[in-house]
Structure 1
Amino acid sequence: MKKHHLLIQPRLRKYSGNLLSLLFIVSFFLTSCQQEEATEKQPNILFIMTDDHTQQALNAYGQGLLDSVYFPNMDRLAKEGALFKNSFVTNSICAPSRAVLLTGKYSHLNGKVDNVGPFNWDQPTYPKLLQEAGYATALIGKIHLGGKPQGYDFSLTLPGQGNYYNPEFIRNGEEEVKFEGHCEALIPQFVVDWIDKEWDRSKPFAINYHTKAPHRNWMAEEKYLDYLEDQEFEFPGNFFDDYEGRGTAAREQEMEIVDNMYWGWDMKFEENPFSGEPSRLAAPFGRMTDEQMEAWNAVYGPANEKFKEELPEGRELARFMFHRYLRDYLKVVKSVDDGIGEVLDYLEANELLDNTIVVYTSDQGFYLGEHGWYDKRFMYEQSLSTPLLVRYPKEIKAGTVVEDLVMNLDHAPTILDYAGLEKPDDMQGESWRALAAGEEIPWRDAIYYHYYEYPGPHSVKRHYGVRTDRYKLIHFYYDIDEWEMYDLEVDPNEMNSIYDDPAYEEVQEMLHTRLEELREQYGDSDTLNQQFIERSLSKN
């Protein structure tokens, strides 16, 4: 792999329909007939995926946590299109979720069950099918699947998790280039540049526009370093959860804000303020230029010094850590929202927006202090659910709300459906296109979930389960054998398992039956579980 470490300063531009140059107008008219012929048959597709953005941090979902924090461009998609209230993932962890997106198959069939094992790019994916059908395809941002991306005419991807400041990108799976700037300012620029300069206008385009944010470690763009620093937030009602009423898994996890976050990586201290020792995992300040570091220290320096003078304990320590985490998380979401706005504005100024299906989602949800946690992985609601917004005015009425249970498994078949293509027989999801259009069609009554990465980071036990519109049944296995069940109407915060409660005997029996039916339908089994366990143990 070639490596070029020259810092490249990107060109910043603003786009306006009133300021189009004469040269662009001439170019537009020369290609408009050819473009119109292609796009009349097939729409453009802009698939936006963030990393760890949760429904609680999106105003359109109206969950009340962020009454004073606004993300206008994401909200615009909800107002002008469809919002899916019950959107879920099949495996709440980054790389497996992305593999499900591309393949339309569960983790146990596409082979990517955790963040460790390789992803097989040789298998069929929806971008390959779009490319074969005549789409111009691009992947820009985070993919986190390793290997050389297939199915794309152009790719510019972050290696692994990538970095917020002055990040490296890999061009077309081969050439590594380092850019100066913030990741969430760069990625939308790259998207616009590809459409503006590289897109073959004789073809419709299909772009995977994937951000790094708001993935850990939440290092804000310079213009947002002091954003929300004076904003106070209430603890979620179950922040100080004692985990009574649930089993071993909830008690033995390692994803608590107060006990498990790192002073360097997460809290942005250069050392442990209590011991003075270097943090177990330091923030990557060495990547920053002198000017960037100066701006950073102007905001975080005084707050950190004040903390070291006071060294709060108990509830006040929890308050500081919760606010440092939540503010940093929301700061990078703000940059993501800006980037989405930049791309939407460009498409609108160039009369492309209304013939472009815009999908916004995340690879999973995330905890913002619920149960005292950050991170994801569990089948509990905050990490199981994920945002899903879709704008396409040719079919979707503004302000549409979809209540049906959809999964990230459904995205690939849906995109192929919009492109006029049949899904392959081995794709397990279903197209939600008709649901977004407001049609009533036969649809699933339950979803299936399976998480595999244990032993592993955050110590979340292996588990699988079923969720209906009201109830949830979870089986934790491997080193334990425990069941949990919840009535989400009575206990939406999932504080008390009702498994073996006589009042729910018939419901429990129904959920066990439905779970086994779904495992058979999707081809999952205890035999496969054992194979993945043995594969995991061989790596360790």
Structure 2
Amino acid sequence: MTRPNIVFILSDDHAAHSISAYGSRVNTTPHMDRLAAEGARMDALYCTNSICTPSRASILTGTYSHVNRACSIYSEFDHRVSTVPEVLQERGYRTALYGKWHLGRSEASRPRGFDDWRIFPDQGEYVDPLMIGPDGEERLSGYATDIVTRQSLDFLESLEADDPFCLFVHHKAPHRPWIPHPRYDGTYEAGTIPEPETMQDGHETRAQVVRDVAMQLDDLKPDDYKDALPPDLEGDDEDSRRARSSWKYQRYMRDYLRCVQAVDDSVGEILDHLEQRGLAEDTLVVYTSDQGFFLGDHGWFDKRLMLDESLTMPMLLRWPASIPAGTRVTDTVSNVDIAATLLEAVGEEPSVLPDQQGRSFLRQLRGEDVEDWRQAVYYRYWEHDDPEHHAPAHYGVRTPELKYIRYYNDGLGSPGSSDRIMPIEDELYDLVADPREMTNVAGDPAYAQALAEMQELTAQMQAEVGDAPYEGPDTPRLEWPTAR
């Protein structure tokens, strides 16, 4: 068996519903669509902790946040937990990573298992970014997405014909603040972008702690929408707030989609290079994002919550030698399963990562039915009352039919408040009758048995992955630094 090369392209905060291969109503992504048409589209891939650092750690290690210790963006990834690139480097692969790392600030958290790497410190900058490499820091001229693409192509060009390689292309885009390249001026103009059907969601049945999050479109700041707010939208009445939210949505989305466009162009450049070098047939190309993102859905931006727009990760894969064109994978999988899949693709047992907790979905990518596959994913968002968004800590389970979420607020106060004790709150969504998750039915007597079954499944999956449930206000919590 010929060991495939791997090109793993990871963007940040790219929602699946802003990829036209997933039916986007707001933009077109022809190069990502090409991956889907010539390979596979994952239709039920979910992150297990919807925020940058934790998801990236889970992708690299195949472990949940409580194992790799990267529970939040304030955490340091535990490098005692082995990663896919470390294994591949040991097996003779040439390895490289360029772009966003975001797995800690200390020198001990720098990338390992790579022959070459250049990373942005923290979130990085879109224009003339500082990058850190094995030889120190360097400020580069240009646009971050283009720079990462060029570095990736330079690495590919440096390889000998027989070198197996694993290249990680980690774009900063389309992470906030959204700064597109000027070449996309005139695209996706404000006022032309369709609003999501759920944008005016009133959240009447949701948990109180969710209604309090500072993720409403009106919470967007001037740096997020850049244009001057018209004076007639500055009122405090409901009509003004709605009009202002729509106005901000158009401008935030304009810049977000323009940032996405640069990433799509990068995908096209890499695919073209592989074909020109005769490498396409035996190269597994993966495109994904570390989590989803609310694009005005339910009146929100950002991620963190367990609703599908935030929970869902896009993933498009092409490997002509092994994945039939046009494959659609509908089994429920998570980012914890990615490492095992990459390892099996190169002929390694997933157990070569001793801590990994995932299961390979390579058979599904090859078009096979896997009858014993569990159609459920466990999720836990660890941060509680983060300084900006005031999102609540919660955990739960999603199946194709139901989603259960527990907000374990006991003794911690409402987001943004240190003096108000909130009760534990549950949400339950019937994903068959209510796929847009508009109505929480946790308190509906007709769903009492379903609620009990999902609570039992959550406890069962927590036990299986080794994550302890919340046990009261004395349970240790993440503590925030005084400044971000």
TM norm structure 2: 0.91
Equivalent-residue separation in structure 2 for 1:322 and 1:245 (angstroms): 24
Give, in angstroms, the shift of residue 267 of structure 1: 1.6
Q: How does 1:13-412 map to 2 (within 5 A)?
A: 41-62=2-23, 64-66=24-26, 69-146=27-104, 147-172=109-134, 174-197=135-158, 199-229=159-189, 232-258=192-218, 260-263=219-222, 265-269=223-227, 304=228, 307-308=229-230, 311=233, 314=240, 315-412=242-339
| 1:134-158 CA distance string (max 9 Å, x none) | 1111111111113211111111111
Equivalent-residue separation in structure 2 for 1:529 and 1:120 (angstroms): 26
Residue 89 of structure 1 contacts residue 384 of structure 1 at CA under 8 Å; is this kept in 2?
Answer: yes
Equivalent-residue separation in structure 2 for 1:125 and 1:385 (angstroms): 23
Equivalent in the alignment of 1:477:
408
Equivalent-residue separation in structure 2 for 1:154 and 1:218 (angstroms): 28
Give the aligned residue type for 1:255. M
Give the aligned residue type for 1:475. R
Structure 2 unaligned residues grouped into runs of 5+: 413-422
Equivalent in the alignment of 1:502:
445
The structure 2 residue matched to 1:449, chosen from 353, 373, 379, is 379
Moved more, 308-317 or 86-95: 308-317
| 1:342-382 CA distance string (max 9 Å, x none) | 11111111101111001111000000001111000000110
Change (3 A) 1:486 1:534: closer
Change (3 A) 1:73 1:529: farther
Equivalent in the alignment of 1:523:
466
Residue 121 of structure 1 contacts residue 148 of structure 1 at CA under 8 Å; is this kept in 2?
Answer: no
Which has the larger helix fraction? 1
Give the aligned residue type for 2:136. E
Equivalent in the alignment of 2:345:
418
Residue 136 of structure 1 contacts residue 200 of structure 1 at CA under 8 Å; is this kept in 2?
Answer: no
Give yes or no for the alignment of 1:436 onto 2:371.
no
Equivalent-residue separation in structure 1 for 2:271 and 2:234 (angstroms): 45
SS in 1 for 2:256: helix
Give, in angstroms, the shift of residue 189 of structure 1: 0.9
Give, in angstroms, the shift of residue 310 of structure 1: 5.3
Equivalent-residue separation in structure 2 for 1:460 and 1:329 (angstroms): 22
4+ runs deviating over 4 angstroms: 307-313, 527-532, 537-540
SS in 2 for 1:343: helix
Change (3 A) 1:538 1:531: farther
Say how many residue pairs are matched.
Answer: 458
| 1:182-222 CA distance string (max 9 Å, x none) | 1111111110011102x354430001111011100110101
Identity over aligned pairs, percent: 39
Equivalent-residue separation in structure 1 for 2:265 and 2:395 (angstroms): 37
Equivalent-residue separation in structure 2 for 1:249 and 1:242 (angstroms): 14
Change (3 A) 1:82 1:237: same
Structure 1 unaligned residues grouped into runs of 5+: 1-39, 270-303
Q: CA RMSD in A?
A: 1.9
| 1:244-268 CA distance string (max 9 Å, x none) | 011112211011111x1111x2022
Equivalent-residue separation in structure 1 for 2:472 and 2:234 (angstroms): 45
Change (3 A) 1:530 1:160: farther
Equivalent-residue separation in structure 1 for 2:31 and 2:397 (angstroms): 33
Give the aligned residue type for 2:69. G
Residue 81 of structure 2 contacts residue 355 of structure 2 at CA under 8 Å; is this kept in 1?
Answer: no
Give the aligned residue type for 1:262. K
Equivalent in the alignment of 1:466:
397
Residue 427 of structure 2 contacts residue 441 of structure 2 at CA under 8 Å; is this kept in 1?
Answer: yes
Give, in angstroms, the shift of residue 504 of structure 1: 1.8
| 1:106-153 CA distance string (max 9 Å, x none) | 001110100002112232111101111111111111111132111111
Q: Looking at CA atoms only, which structure, 1 or 2, has the larger radius of gyration? A: 1
Give, in angstroms, the shift of residue 535 of structure 1: 4.5
Equivalent-residue separation in structure 1 for 2:40 and 2:15 (angstroms): 17
Equivalent-residue separation in structure 2 for 1:105 and 1:530 (angstroms): 26
Give, in angstroms, the shift of residue 455 of structure 1: 2.3
| 1:415-464 CA distance string (max 9 Å, x none) | 11011111224211110100110101121121100001112131111000
